[in-house]
Structures are given as C-alpha cells and as structure tokens.
C-alpha cells in the first residue's frame, strides 16, 4: 500500500481554501494510497485545526500540523496575494527529514486536485532535487536571478506551487539555508517572492514535469506563447485535461476570477455545507475620496485597482466628497462601483468652512475636504475610515491596513518622502520632526470628533495662511504632529520613493523604502507628473494604464460623449 507525504501551508485566512485542496486531494486519491498530510501552521485557531483534522482522519488519512521559526522570514518581501506563509515551505523539508521522510509532495493551498496524485508523488526525479512545472510567464527569465546566459539556456524557471521534493538531496545541498541567504543577499532581485529564490538555487537541479501537474491560470487563458513545439503540445493537453488546477495570481475563484472553466467546480466544493470552516467576511472597509470632474476618471481607476486586489474576505463602501460633479460624472462612478457590487455614497461639503484656504494652480479647495471628513461621516457606528487621494493605485488587499490598531492616535499615515522639515519651518513645537503625507489617512473618527480636530485644523488655516506651503497637509501636520501613527511606506509609496530620488536619512527607513519599492501596497503618483499624462518613467505607470483599461473599454467612450453633450448644454 503506497504511503505518501503531502505538505502545504496556511494562515487562518486561507483555511477555507486549504480545505478545498484537502477535499479534492482525498476524493481523487487512489483507494490504496495512504496520505500523511503536513500543514505548516501559521497561527491557525484550535477550532480550525480540529475541523481540518477531522476532515482528513474521517477519510482514513493523517494530518499533522508543524511549526516553523517565523523569525527566519522577517526580511522576506510580501504582496497582496503572497504573504510570509508562502516562504515557510523553504524550511519545511528539514522538519520532514526529522520525521523520517525521504520525499514529499508540496501543494499550494490554492490548488484544486483533479486526479490521483500518487504517480506525481512517486515520479522519478532522475537524481534532481525537485520536480516542478514550468512557469509559462517566466520560463526564460533566469538571467535576472543571477544565472549566466549559458546556464539560463540550459534550465527553465519553474512555478513553486507544486513541487515533488527529494528531501535527502535537498538536505545534502543545504537548499533551505542557501535560499534564505539568497533572499537576504539579493533582495533587489526578488520579484516573485520565495519562488524567485527557490529558482535561483534549484532551477538547474529540477526535473521539469508535464504542465498538466500544475495548470496555472495564465496557462488556462493562454497568456504566454509556449517555448517550443513540445511545450505547445503539453500546454494543449494540460488545458484539456488538467491533473492539478492552480489558481495563481491576484484573481481567485473566491474573488474576482472570471471565465475560468474550473471556477464553478471550485466554488461548489468551497461552499458545500458540511460543517467545515467557511469564508468569514470581515467588517466593511470604508474608503472616501474627494474629486472634481477632472479627477473622476482617476478615481474610477483607483476603485478598480482596489477591487481587483480584494481577496474576497471584505465588503467595501465607497464615499465621494464631490466638488461640483455633474450627473454624468456620478453615473460613471456608479457604473464602475456597480461592476464590483460596491455601494457608493456621494456627500456634499460646505466650502464656507474653507473660505480662507490657500489654493494654487495644482492644489484646489477640493484637497482640503479631507479635513472635514469626521464632520461629514457622522454615523456613530462608523468608527474609522480610509481616505485616499484620487492619484493612488492599489496593489494589494487592504485588509491588513484597515485592521491597523491606532491606539491613542487620531490617524495613521506614512511619512512624506520629501523630508521638507516643515514642522520647524512652520515654527511648530514638536517632539518628533516626522511629517506625514496626507494622501492616505486611516482616521479614527470617534477620537477626531471628540477632540474637534477639524475645527482646530480650520482655525490653523485661517490664522496662518502664510505658512501653508503644502496646503492642507501642512495644516494637518501642524495640529496632529506627535499624535499620528507612522505606517510602513508601502501604504503610501510616493513617487520620490519609487524613483529613489530622495534617500531616507535613516538605515531602518532606507530598508523600508527598498521593501516598498519591491512590494508596494498603495502607490501614490504625487507630484506634477502623472501616469495618465503622456510618457512616464514611473515603474508602475504601465500597471496604472492597464487598470485604467478595466473600466475605460466599456464606459469611457459613452462617458466622453455624454460629457461633450453636457458641456455643449444639451
């Protein structure tokens, strides 16, 4: 009777999806194969572990939870759909070696098994350390990881979501240690997280398996050309009859993935009522922005970027502080939000409160609206809100930002990347000279209202117009200095930072800037140059334009035509 080991990893958020992987593996396994599942436990709750264990053991198999030293991964970059848990596979084979295993099949939690994996787990590796499947989008990119041209022609880049691992050879080659060393030594090379690092160490020691064993989303949609005729044949066979479906990328069957032939099957397993853990929706994330007609298209792009990176565990509510929007402007924003089933609330701002606000050619009174948010959103049940300028682009799920504990602070923000020394220049009596950028503000509404912060800021504006070089941002900092929580710069990755034009004066800050450039959460196209204005050297300008197309293709021609008619007085 064959006995195989299968390894995976999950945090609490991924429990429902891990469950689908387990069910699909168990229901397709050969009757005489015994499975010993090992799950790397990233803070799973006792209830979740008990339910998963019951699921496996009731089917006649075994499940063991294992722990790794999370401190080993503190320098590992993360993104919206790749968190620290993904790196844990790097050291897991060392743990299984101590359990007496010589081989293990690693499966990502977002895989969906369609056939018996026994032949995969027992397949010949021909003296290689691992067996894996080509990554169609990165197949010929090993040079960026440090391979020579000759070496890169002799090996292929693999996807690490499905790996057959020869544990003895892995240990002999010290793969865990070398992979972690690579991450620490070459952080600038890491784009695809642990997968890049594993390829840097293992690509030349990999048995390339047929693509049907790891049919990635990009392969299903045929986004990349096969590298040769053999792979063209394998790709077609894999698409027609996948052995393992792997939902790679941001889009997943439980959030925004559309048109994938296995989405409905996946959701049927995910949502079946068998008493196992289901997706738990977290509290609604409320996002507010201020816009005039000029910036309506850019706000639409921001919304699309937020929703395409939503993992599906959050509901959203959008608020718009409107500066003389037209009916056509509102209709466009409503259509974009409706696509993602997000309610929109338009709110009016009393500009009389801002009558003395200093404006410029680039900064209008609309910029000051954020000061009044707690006086506009008055529902006591809404205890916090996330303000975003319209020139942002989201690159990750906002759940981690939204759940930030504010403590005694009135808001959380990111230090301004210009380091203008504004507090001293405004003659503010401060303890810390940190000065925040006001493009992203996570606001504690209750604390703000209780201290009447809006009125304090308005008073400062009225009494100190000559000091407001950076308009609302100066006034907010003058009042809230030393009373705001500094966030990682990835939550407001400003243009200075992304282009590395202004170095951070502190060692820790410089490291955080590198991390933000590698894996930004919210990109802020601040300054004069914008990605929608001709050519831009910003590294995320192409990502902006791609996101812009998500709503423009269907809505923009009609919007422009209606705006033109509106401007002509029709």
Residue-range domain boundaries for the chain: 3-270, 282-562
Q: How confident is the model at residue 45 (pLDDT cuts 50, 70, 90)?
A: confident
Instruction: Single out the residue of 86, 199, 89 nearest to residue 151, CA to CA.
Output: 199
pLDDT digits (tens, 9 = 90+) for 165-200: 999 999 999 999 999 999 989 988 988 889 999 999
Task: State how far the alpha carbon of 446 is from the alpha carbons of 51, 276, 371, 398, 451, in Å.
Answer: 39, 37, 14, 21, 9
Q: How confident is the model at residue 69 (pLDDT cuts 50, 70, 90)?
A: confident
Is the pLDDT score of 90 beyond 90? yes
Which H, E and C letters describe 252-291, residue by residue? CCCCCCCCCCCHHHHHHHHCCCCCCCCCCCEEEEEEEEEE
Topology alike, domains 3-270 and 282-562: yes
Tell me if 457 sits within 8 A of 357, measured CB to CB. no
Tell me if 394 sits within 8 A of 522, measured CB to CB. yes
pLDDT of residue 528: 80
Phi and psi based region of residue 251 (left: phi greater than 0; alpha: psi -120 to 50; beta: remaining): beta
Is the pLDDT score of 361 beyond 60? no
pLDDT digits (tens, 9 = 90+) for 281-314: 457 899 999 999 999 999 999 999 999 888 766 7
475/36 Cα distance (integer angstroms)? 61
pLDDT of residue 282: 58
347/283 Cα distance (integer angstroms)? 22
What is the residue-averaged pLDDT of the chain? Answer: 89
Candidates 3.90.550.10, 3.40.50.970, 3.50.50.60, 3.30.420.10; correct CATH number of 3-270?
Answer: 3.90.550.10
Instruction: Give helix 453-463 / helix 471-480 axis angle, nearest 10°.
Output: 120
The CATH superfamily label for domain 282-562 reads Spore Coat Polysaccharide Biosynthesis Protein SpsA; Chain A (3.90.550.10)
Token output for 316: 């959203």
More confident residue, 106 or 417: 106
Helices (H), 340-488: 373-376, 399-402, 422-425, 445-450, 453-463, 471-480
More confident residue, 355 or 295: 295
Is the pLDDT score of 405 beyond 60? yes
Task: State how far the alpha carbon of 321 is from the alpha carbons of 328, 330, 541, in Å.
Answer: 16, 11, 26
pLDDT of residue 238: 97
- Look-up of token digits 């705001």: 484
Q: How confident is the model at residue 80 (pLDDT cuts 50, 70, 90)?
A: very low
């Amino acid at each position: 009777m064959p006995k195989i080991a299968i390894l995976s990893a999950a945090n609490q958020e991924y429990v429902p999806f891990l469950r689908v992987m387990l069910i699909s593996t168990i229901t397709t396994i050969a009757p005489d194969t015994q499975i010993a599942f090992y799950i790397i436990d990233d803070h799973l709750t006792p209830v979740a572990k008990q339910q998963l264990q019951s699921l496996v053991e009731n089917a006649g198999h075994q499940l063991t939870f294992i722990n790794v030293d999370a401190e080993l991964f503190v320098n590992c970059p993360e993104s919206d759909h790749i968190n620290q848990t993904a790196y844990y596979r790097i050291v897991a084979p060392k743990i299984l070696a101590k359990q007496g295993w010589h081989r293990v099949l690693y499966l990502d939690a977002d895989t969906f098994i369609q056939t018996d994996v026994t032949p995969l787990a027992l397949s010949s590796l021909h003296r290689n350390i691992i067996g894996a499947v080509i990554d169609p989008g990165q197949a010929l990119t090993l040079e960026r990881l440090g391979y020579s041209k000759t070496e890169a022609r002799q090996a292929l880049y693999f996807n690490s979501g499905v790996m057959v691992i020869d544990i003895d050879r892995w240990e002999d080659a010290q793969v865990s240690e070398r992979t972690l060393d690579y991450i620490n030594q070459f952080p600038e090379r890491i784009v695809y997280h642990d997968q890049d690092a594993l390829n840097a160490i293992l690509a030349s020691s990999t048995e390339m398996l047929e693509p049907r064993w790891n049919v990635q989303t990009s392969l299903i949609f045929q986004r990349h050309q096969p590298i040769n005729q053999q792979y063209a044949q394998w790709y077609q066979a894999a698409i027609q009859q996948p052995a393992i479906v792997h939902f790679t990328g941001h889009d997943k069957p439980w959030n925004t993935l559309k048109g994938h032939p296995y989405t409905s099957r996946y959701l049927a397993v995910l949502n079946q009522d068998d008493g196992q853990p289901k997706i738990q929706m977290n509290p609604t994330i409320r996002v507010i922005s201020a816009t005039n007609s000029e910036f309506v298209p850019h706000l639409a792009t921001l919304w699309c970027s937020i929703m395409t990176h939503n993992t599906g565990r959050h509901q959203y509510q959008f608020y718009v502080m409107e500066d003389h929007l037209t009916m056509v402007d509102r209709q466009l924003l409503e259509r974009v939000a409706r696509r993602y089933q997000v309610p929109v609330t338009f709110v009016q701002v009393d500009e009389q409160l801002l009558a003395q606000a200093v404006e410029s050619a680039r900064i209008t009174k609309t910029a000051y609206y954020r000061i009044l948010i707690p006086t506009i959103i008055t529902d006591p049940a809404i205890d916090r809100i996330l303000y975003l300028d319209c020139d942002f682009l989201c690159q990750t799920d906002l759940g981690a930002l939204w759940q930030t504990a504010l403590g005694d602070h009135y808001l959380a923000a990111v230090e301004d990347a210009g380091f203008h020394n504004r507090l001293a220049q405004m003659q503010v009596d401060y303890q810390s000279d940190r000065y925040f950028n006001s493009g992203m503000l996570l606001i504690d509404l209750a604390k703000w209202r209780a201290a009447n912060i809006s009125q304090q800021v308005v008073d400062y504006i009225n009494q100190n117009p000559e000091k407001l070089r950076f308009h609302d941002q100066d006034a907010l900092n003058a009042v809230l200095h030393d009373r705001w929580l500094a966030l990682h710069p990835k939550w407001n990755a400003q243009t200075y930072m992304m282009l590395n034009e202004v170095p951070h004066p502190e060692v820790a800050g410089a490291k955080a800037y590198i991390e933000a450039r590698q894996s930004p959460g919210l990109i802020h196209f601040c300054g004069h140059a914008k990605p929608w204005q001709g050519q831009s050297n910003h590294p995320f300008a192409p990502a902006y334009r791609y996101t812009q197309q998500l709503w423009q293709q269907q809505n923009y021609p009609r919007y422009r035509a209606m705006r033109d008619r509106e401007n002509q007085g029709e």
